[in-house]
Chains A and B, each alone.
Chain A
Amino acid sequence: MEILERRACITGIGQSDVGRRLFRDPLELTLDACLAAIEDAGLEREQIDGLATYPGAGGPAGFSGASLTDVHDALRLELSWYEGGMESPGQLGSVINACMAVACGLATHVLCFRSVWEATAAAKTGAIGVAAAAGGGAAGGGGFRASGSMQWTLPYRAFSAANWIALFAQRHFHEYGTTREQLAQIALNARKNAALNPKAVYRDPMTLDDYLNARMISTPFGLFDCDAPCDGATAVIVSRVDAARDLAKPPVRVEAVGSALRGRPSWDQFDDLTTMAARDAGEMLWTRTDLTPSDVDVAELYDGFSFITLCWLEALGFCGKGESGSFVEGGARIALDGELPLNTQGGQLSAGRLHGYGYLHEAVLQLRGEGAERQVPGNPQVAVAAAGGGPLASCLLLTRAA
């Protein structure tokens, strides 16, 4: 079986301004990121013949800064293939689709983007507007009734993914003895790395005491276990390998992808309450490559909530099942100069909730050696970018072009 994603590579990356409350037109931010990625690749706008995004149009205020159509028309693109939607294996499912589109010859250079303006939306509508609208409507009562999957959680005031993921974290604590001090390492490591990232939204130093004393959100999650809503957009260009040879930057190769979901597609009916869909995506990824977890030089793993990163560490085989707490204990192993540098841009916990694409952007930056102050030493050759929590998950294994 040919591993088709190897016909794809990443040739350009771009990111807009990122901030807590920019009060900027989200479409403008999105286009800033898109144009930056096109320029970074050394391409002309006319050469972009594919477009992909997550989630595209719709969703609660701030969740999507631009629809596929918005970007298509604003850039006057002439497309051979395009796709946008929310029912995919997490945010990076759109990038995997783009890889398949170029591999199958439907397009040559696909512009992929993810755009958020949740910080400004919350400032305008109140945080609850954002949290509850995720459930399909306002939570202010007024006759609104929950339907679909949300009917099983909203009546119990489980309004937020913070609650849904906390349930998994608590079960992991129960079965494996994982502690808040261990979980803290994900947040502390992110903050340490964010200090070296000029675009990160939270850069002030954080101590273990700061972490433990922060107000509780939903046990075992305190404030610093939850990512920081922000405004910003990220774009990447996925190109067919044979069309990437003479571009501006050395292409980053896509070695393998994981997109599986074998458990039930549900927050509370998934078979194992100590792991999530990451388990299936991670397992699939390693069936598509001869590389192994020990070959990975840098890991950019989703931290929408700190526990999700522990989940991905286990899912991708960096440690055994249930061992992620002790794996990150003390934080040295996951530091920039550690054996597995993790979330080198500061993750979503400290760099801002760019929602999935931030990890991919950072993985490419690190493999190119463009990490500046936060560059992982030793010329990293292999990186993994993974995104999604709960029943949403996908991941990409990336390598520097030989």
Chain B
Amino acid sequence: MSSDAPFRVLPKLTPRNEAFWTGGREGELRIQRCSDCATWVHPPQPICPACTGKNLETKAVSGRATVATFTVNHQEWIPGSKDPYVIAIVELEEDAAVRLTTNVVECAPENVKVGMPVRVVFEEREDVWIPLFAPDTEAAGNR
């Protein structure tokens, strides 16, 4: 973590959320999936909300997603964080119903657009790997 990295509240790890928040160690975005009915489940649950089965596994997804919406935050909620930053909700390529609130990085705030293809990048903080999303230049050419 570089010294100019923004302040972040980190998530408290639990057996249920650990795969999500630490998959970045292996470079993987990991989402829960029902082995019985193939439903993607997020946030992680003890049972599948579709079939109520308990055979849930954690699978690595492609990390590709689309910006469903975003906001550029200007308010200095934390003293010292003056630079505008982008908060977005992205929809995963595997299932648009699985959404993540995240930050769009490696992109000037004014260039972020709804519908923009993005790919996951990870920011390591202590024992967690925060999934962030950056413009997917490869996909942008294909879509």
**What residues of chain A have their CB less than 8 Å away from a CB belonging to chain B?**
128, 131-132, 135, 139-141, 144-147, 149, 151-160, 162-163, 166-171, 174, 215-221, 267-269, 271, 273
Contact = CB atoms under 8 A, between A and B. Distances in A.
Most buried by B among A139, A157, A167, A221: A157
Nearest to A175: B114
A158 B101 contact: yes
A115 B68 CA distance: 36
B130 interface: yes
B106 to A, nearest CB: 15
Contacts of A147: 11-12, 14
Interface in B13-69: 14, 17, 42-43, 68-69
B29 to A, nearest CB: 14
Given A128-B79, A268-B89, A273-B89, A155 B72 contact: no
Contacts of A170: 69-71, 114
B11 A268 contact: no
Contacts of B72: 216, 218-219
Contacts of B9: 132, 135, 139, 141, 144-146, 154-155, 157
B77 A139 contact: yes
7 contacts: A128-B77, A151-B11, A153-B101, A157-B85, A218-B87, A267-B101, A268-B100
Interface in B70-85: 70-75, 77-79, 81, 85
Contact of A219 (B71, B89, B99): B71
Given A167-B71, A216-B74, A218-B71, A269 B99 contact: yes
B65 to A, nearest CB: 13
Given A156-B101, A157-B6, A146 B74 contact: no
A331 to B, nearest CB: 25
B100 to A, nearest CB: 8
Given A153-B101, A156-B87, A273-B89, 11 more contacts: A139-B78, A141-B9, A144-B9, A158-B87, A163-B87, A167-B69, A170-B70, A170-B71, A217-B75, A218-B87, A271-B97
Contacts of B42: 269
B74 A215 contact: yes
Given A147-B14, A268-B89, A171 B7 contact: no
Q: Is the interface of B mostly helix, strand, loop or mixed?
A: strand
Contacts, number: 117
A157 B77 contact: yes
Nearest to A274: B69
B77 A145 contact: no
Contacts of B114: 170-171, 174
A146 B7 contact: no
A214 to B, nearest CB: 11
B95 to A, nearest CB: 12
Residue from A144, A146, A170 with most neighbouring chain B CB atoms (10 Å):
A170
Nearest to B49: A264
A206 to B, nearest CB: 20
B85 to A, nearest CB: 6
A157 B99 contact: no
Lowest 7 A-B CB distances belong to which pairs? A145-B12, A166-B71, A171-B69, A151-B11, A154-B9, A216-B74, A147-B12
A55 to B, nearest CB: 22
A156 B75 CA distance: 14
Contacts of A156: 8, 87, 101-103, 130
Contact of A145 (B10, B68, B74): B10
Contacts of B81: 157
B134 to A, nearest CB: 14
Contact of B69 (A159, A174, A269): A174
A162 B87 CA distance: 11
B23 to A, nearest CB: 14
A160 B114 CA distance: 21
A188 B38 CA distance: 50
A220 B85 CA distance: 13
A141 B126 CA distance: 13
Nearest to A216: B74
Chain A CB within 10 A, most for which of B6, B43, B73, B79: B73
Given A167-B69, A171-B68, A273-B69, A157 B8 contact: yes
Contact of A268 (B10, B79, B85, B101): B101
A155 B130 contact: yes
A157 B73 contact: yes
